[in-house]
Amino acid sequence: MAKSRVLTRAVVAVRWIAGLFYALIGANGLLGLIPMPAGTTPAAMAFFSALYASGFMLTLLALSFLIGGLLLLLDRTAPLGLIVLAPPIVVIPLYNWLLEAQPFTSGPFVIAIEVLLAWRYWDRFRPLWNSGSRE
């Protein structure tokens, strides 16, 4: 019983830390309080230049982080937060690996957190995969 309680509290702590982190990253992206690095390789700089040139992608990315992070803070809305955050979280390790040539920076860590939280909320995702008809 005590082991289950510790695990539950650990997952809640991870969810809160991740939620606050992503919400702050999103707020920073919208407000520009802390300058974000544009990349260290030519490919990474070209990627950020393309996002910036689009006129909306950096704002959309910041909103995804902000909204997804805020949704993670509440147990009821955490699964929706995971869904909102999934696309940018998948891009992070790909960016690190393919464009920065640094596969073991933050990418595996953010994927691990996403998988841990998705595992925790799997019972809420299960209906998405049911193939039964509703007639």
Residue 108 lies in a domain: yes
Phi, psi dihedrals of residue 74, rounded to the nearest 5° = -105, 135
Residue 60 lies in a domain: yes
pLDDT of residue 97: 87
Residue 131 lies in a domain: no
* Amino acid in position 107: G
pLDDT lower than 70: segments of the chain? 1, 3, 37-39, 132-135
Per the CB < 8 A criterion, the answer to whether 4 and 51 are in contact is no
Distance CA 93, CA 112 (A): 11
Total H helices, total E strands in the chain: 6, 0
Residue 127 lies in a domain: no
Q: Which domain holds residue 73?
A: 7-122
* Amino acid in position 124: R
Give the count of domains, the chain: 1
Residue 1 lies in a domain: no
Residue 135 lies in a domain: no
pLDDT of residue 134: 60
